[in-house]
Structure 1
C-alpha cells in the first residue's frame, strides 16, 4: 500500500509549479502597467513663470546666479535702462534711453536692472560679491572668463542652466539673458516691464551663448586702454571689424606676432595680439605694457585658435 504521504508529494510539486506559473504570468501582466504608471509620473513641463534651474548639469555657482536673478523676479523688480551699473552690483535708478525716450520716461523713477545689470548682479551674488561681469552685454559675452562658447547654429541643445544668451551682431550685441533650461530664460527685457521668465527667442538676432568660469582665469590676462578700440578679423587696419572696446577692458591674449605697422595715439608698433575670446586681433598699442608683451608666446609657437 502506498501511504497518503507518498500520494501527496507529486500533488504538492504540481501545485508549486502551477503557483509559480501563475505568479510569473501576474508579473508579466503587471510590468506594462507599472511602466505606464512611471511614464505618467514623469515631471510635467515647467509652469509659466517658473524661475529656477529647469534642467540638470548646472554648476553650483550657476545655480546661485539663477537664484539671485529669480529672487528679483519674485520681488517684482523693474527693468530700468542703465540700471544695475553703479559702483557696485545691485539695483539702481535707471535713465531715459535716448533711443526710446517715451517707453523709458519712468526709468529714472524706478530702481532696477537692465539686461546686463541683472547678469552682473546675479553672478556677483553667485561668487560672494566678486564683480566678475561688470560691463555691458558685449563685454559680458566676450568675457575673459569664458569656460565655453556656443554659436547660434548649435541651438539650445548643448546649453546648461546659468549660461548667458546674447542677441545682436558681432559688432553690436544688444541684449543678454540667463538660461534656465527647457527653452526658458530669465531676463530684464525692456522699459515698462518687470524682470521676467521668457521663452528663448531663437530668432535672426540670436547670436550665441557663453558659459561663465567663476574660478581662476587661465591664460595671459592683460588690460586695454582707450575708448572705442576695434578688434580686427586679421592683424591689419583694413581687415573687418569684430568688436570695439568701449573703454578699458580685461582681455585674454593667446599669442602675438609682427604684422602691419600701426601709428596711433603718438605710438608706433607692428605687433598684434590674438584674442581667443573674440577670435580677433588688436594692435599692441592699445594693450597696457611693452610693445612686445612679456611672457606671451609668438603665434608661430602658439597658433591662433581656429
Structure 2
C-alpha cells in the first residue's frame, strides 16, 4: 500500500516539475508565442492585402516587404546611391534622432520606393525625392485626398505634404495598411494608412512605356501655376531640369524672362498646373502638342 502511494507521489512531482517547461514552450511544438520577435510579427502582416494589384505592383510590394522582414533601418538620405539599394544615410539637421543615420545602412521614404519599383520594373524608373516621385510622368492614375482609400490598389504610392512640398511617400498594401520608411530611429515598417493631416493624394505607377508628349524643362526654381498666368496660385517649383508630360498648350499671358518673351503656356497633367513655354526646351510653340480647348 505504501509503495503504491509513493509511486503516485513521484508521478505527481514529476508532472509539477515539467510544468514550467510546458508553459515556456507553448501547448504545441512550433506554435507561435509571445516570444516571436517583433520584426517577424510585423513582416507577417506585410504583403498584398487586397485584390486588384498588377503583377508589377505586387513585385514592388514584395520588394518593400523584404526590407521589413530584414529589419532594415530608416536612414535619412538612404537609398539614393548610384544604383537602387540600401546605403548609409546622413544627419538630418532638423531631426536630432538622425544622429546615427550615417552608421545605419537603410532607406529613407523615397529611397525605399525607388528600390521597390526598380525591383518591380527591372530599371530605375523612380529615382529622386518624394516630390519628384509623386509628380512623375509615370503616373498611370492619380487620386486626391478627398477620394480616400476607396480607389486605391496595392502598390499605389501615398504622398504627404502640400502641392509645393511633398515630404513623405509610402506604398499602399490594401486593407488600410501601408509599408514605409517613416523616420530616423525606426526600421522599415507596416503602418496604418494616415488619411488625415497632411495626406495629399496617391498615384498608380506605370512601369511600362511613358505615353503622351514628354518634354524637358530648363532653369532652376521654375514655378508652375494654377492658371496660365503668373499672378495665379503657385503650385510647384522645378528645382532644376525636369522631365514633364505636356497635355496641351495655348496662348495666354505674355511673359518675359531669361531674355525671352512668349505668350504660350502648357498644361501639365501630372501637376494639374500650367507653365510658361519659355522654360520648356524646344520652340516657342511645341511641335505636335495640341491646342487646349
The bucket for the TM-score relative to the shorter chain is 0.7 to 0.9
Aligned partner of 2:115 in structure 1 is 121
Secondary structure of the equivalent of 1:70? helix
Measure the CA separation in 1 of the matches of 2:223 and 2:196: 27
Aligned partner of 1:3 in structure 2 is none
The equivalences for 1:67-106 within 5 A come to: 67-100=62-95, 102-106=96-100
Aligned partner of 1:108 in structure 2 is 102
Judge which range, 55-64 or 137-146, deviates more: 137-146
The equivalences for 1:1-306 within 5 A come to: 48-49=42-43, 50-100=45-95, 102-128=96-122, 130-299=123-292, 303=293
Measure the CA separation in 2 of the matches of 1:189 and 1:297: 42
Which of structures 1 and 2 has the bigger CA Rg? Answer: 1
The answer to whether the 8 A contact 2:42-2:68 is kept is: no
Measure the CA separation in 2 of the matches of 1:184 and 1:103: 25
Q: Deviations over 1:111-169 (max 9, x none)?
A: 111101110110011011x1111111111111111111111111111110000001111
Secondary structure of the equivalent of 2:97? coil
Measure the CA separation in 2 of the matches of 1:186 and 1:247: 30
Measure the CA separation in 2 of the matches of 1:111 and 1:228: 32
Alpha-carbon offset, residue 48 of structure 1: 4.9
Aligned partner of 1:32 in structure 2 is none
Alpha-carbon offset, residue 268 of structure 1: 2.1
Q: Deviations over 1:16-65 (max 9, x none)?
A: xxxxxxxxxxxxxxxxxxxxxxxxxxxxxxx7541100001100000000
Q: Deviations over 1:223-254 (max 9, x none)?
A: 11222211100111111011111222111101
Secondary structure of the equivalent of 2:98? coil
Secondary structure of the equivalent of 2:99? coil
Alpha-carbon offset, residue 265 of structure 1: 2.0
Which ranges of structure 2 fall in alignment gaps of 5 or more residues?
1-40
Aligned partner of 1:18 in structure 2 is none
Secondary structure of the equivalent of 2:58? helix
The answer to whether the 8 A contact 2:42-2:69 is kept is: no
Alpha-carbon offset, residue 266 of structure 1: 2.4
Provide the TM-score with structure 1 as the length reference: 0.80
Measure the CA separation in 2 of the matches of 1:83 and 1:288: 32
